[in-house]
Amino acid sequence: MENNNEPSEETKERWIKDPNNWIWGIFYYNPEDKRIFPPKKIKEFGWTTNFANPNSVFVLLAIMAVLITLGRYLN
């Protein structure tokens, strides 16, 4: 059974390709997209953060804090 609240793959692809969802061409900002880390424009390059999703910004900051903390303790 399909979840009616989940956007289709075509919709997700359209969001990624829409230049209006990219700030300066590098920051993805789409309030309709609930994914934390959607794929980049070129999927082979990995994922990006959806800056319109407050949870994804929090996760990104948490990852950065862990990396900085590890970097300080490993030196």
25: in domain: yes
46 lies in a domain?
yes
Domain assignment present for residue 3? The answer is: no
> What is the value of pTM for the model shown?
0.74
**Number of structural domains found in the chain:** 1
Phi/psi for 20 (5° steps) reads: -70, -15
Asked whether 40 and 47 are in contact (CB, 8 A), the reply is: yes
**15-67 pLDDT, tens digit each:** 999 999 999 989 999 999 999 999 998 889 999 999 999 998 899 899 999 99
Q: How far apart are CA 52 and CA 18, in angstroms?
A: 15
Is 28 a member of any domain? yes
Domain range spanning residue 65? 9-74
Relative to beta strand 22-23, strand 27-28 is: antiparallel
The reply to whether 18 falls in a domain is yes
